[in-house]
Amino acid sequence: MSQKIPWQERPAGCTDVMWRYSENPIIGRYDIPTSNSIFNSAVVPFGDGYAGVFRCDNKAVQMNIFAGFSKDAIHWEINHEPIVMKGGNTDFLHSEYKYDPRVTFIEDRYWVTWCNGYCGPTIGIAYNDDHYTFDFKEFFQCENAFLPFNRNGVLFPEKINGKYAMLSRPSDNGHTPFGDIFISYSPDMKYWGEHRCVMKVTPFIDSAWQCTKIGAGAVPIKTKDGWLLFYHGVINTCNGFRYSMGAALLDLNNPSKVIARTQPYLLAPATLYETTGDVPNVVFPCAALHSIEEDKVAVYYGAADTVVGVAFGRISEIVKFTKGNSL
Ligand code: BMA
Q: How far is the CA of 279 from the centre of ligand 1 (A)?
A: 8
**DSSP symbol at 209:** G
**104, burial (CB in 10 Å: exposed 0-12, middle 13-18, buried 19+):** buried
Instruction: Count CB-CB contacts under 10 A for residue 308.
Output: 29
To test ligand 1's pocket by mutation, which of 115, 116, 243 has the most ligand atoms within 8 angstroms of CB? Answer: 243
> What pLDDT, on the 0 to 100 scale, is given for residue 3?
78
Cβ of 284 less than 6 Å from ligand 1 = yes
- The alpha carbon dihedral of 7, 12, 16, 22 has a sign of negative
- The alpha carbon dihedral of 211, 304, 76, 319 has a sign of negative
Q: How far is the CA of 240 from the centre of ligand 1 (A)?
A: 12
pLDDT tens per residue across all 327 residues of the chain: 567 899 999 999 999 999 999 999 999 999 999 999 999 999 999 999 999 999 999 999 999 999 999 999 999 999 999 999 999 999 999 999 999 999 999 999 999 999 999 999 999 999 998 666 678 989 999 999 999 999 999 999 999 999 999 999 999 999 999 999 999 999 999 999 999 999 999 999 999 999 999 999 999 999 999 999 999 999 999 999 999 999 999 999 999 999 999 999 999 999 999 999 999 999 999 999 999 999 999 999 999 999 999 999 999 999 999 999 999
Q: How far is the CA of 305 from the centre of ligand 1 (A)?
A: 7
Cβ of 282 less than 6 Å from ligand 1 = yes
Q: Report which protein residue has its CA nearest ligand 1's atom 8.
A: 175
Cβ of 217 less than 6 Å from ligand 1 = no
- The alpha carbon dihedral of 263, 159, 99, 137 has a sign of positive
Q: How far is the CA of 9 from the centre of ligand 1 (A)?
A: 30
Cβ of 99 less than 6 Å from ligand 1 = yes
Q: How far is the CA of 308 from the centre of ligand 1 (A)?
A: 14
> What pLDDT, on the 0 to 100 scale, is given for residue 129?
84
> What pLDDT, on the 0 to 100 scale, is given for residue 69?
97
pTM of structure: 0.97
Q: Look at residue 47 and give its three-state secondary structure.
A: coil
> What pLDDT, on the 0 to 100 scale, is given for residue 19?
98
> What pLDDT, on the 0 to 100 scale, is given for residue 134?
72
Q: Report which protein residue has its CA nearest ligand 1's atom 11.
A: 175
Q: Report which protein residue has its CA nearest ligand 1's atom 1.
A: 175
